[in-house]
Structure 1
Amino acid sequence: MRSLLVPLLLALVPALTGSPEPASDWTCVPEGNKCTFDSDCCSKNCVNDPKLGKVCKPKDASWTCVPEGNKCTFDSDCCSKNCVNDPKLGKVCKPKDASWTCIPQGRSCTFDSDCCSKNCVNDPKLGKVCKAPKSG
């Protein structure tokens, strides 16, 4: 029971404190990071990858694809089908049609324009990081 109460309270804190960002913008786990439940992930897709364990992947992605921001060799390795040679990161998966200079979700950023998702959010735990694209 206690394990259910803590996430519930954490979800309510932003609503009660009047956080300027919607809770989903900073409380969800970015693609490629460890998760326990689908609801943990920004993509709502927590899958058991045989190499990585349980990680967040893009919606409708297979469990074998490499999430954005992680190392790749070929386009077919990536969930986004876009393996790009980034001068800072090496060959990594990026969103479709993303420039090679954009920053993947879950990494540090300064401006919205830094991010492949065009959404740099101030996360109270992580600082400013790229998150999923703004909806609407």
Structure 2
Amino acid sequence: MENPGHTSYADDPKIDALVNETIGRVADKWTLLVLEALEEAGARRFSDLGRSVPGISQKMLTQTLRQMEREGLVSREVFAEVPPRVEYRLTDLGHELGEAFCGVWQWAERNLARIEAARADYDARKAP
């Protein structure tokens, strides 16, 4: 998709592919919520992380963390204890992505009232 006034990287298919893949993987609900939870608290154990992301199942948390680890966004450290302790933390790459998405939260905060008003107006027009 062309974006007027935006530098295009269309000449480099590797960058194009990376951007498309990254957006597809990290723009999902769970990745953003895990990213936020790790940004707020630093290192977290799996169970603590699960409690801090409302509604996420263990299976989805596992899948999300594995994908984030594969992308270089989180690191996983296993401690040789009984029972074993595993902690996850954001990498520098993960922190940078968190900063990029921070703009979305700031936009939402600035525009919450406008969005709610637009939704109410739309719903009122569509009501039977």
- Whether TM-score is above 0.5 comes out as no
Answer 1 or 2: which has greater helix percent. Answer: 2
TM-score, normalised on structure 2? 0.28
Q: Which has the higher contact order (CA 8 A, sep 6+)?
A: 2
As a proportion of its length, which structure holds more strand? 1
Normalization by structure 1: what TM-score? 0.27
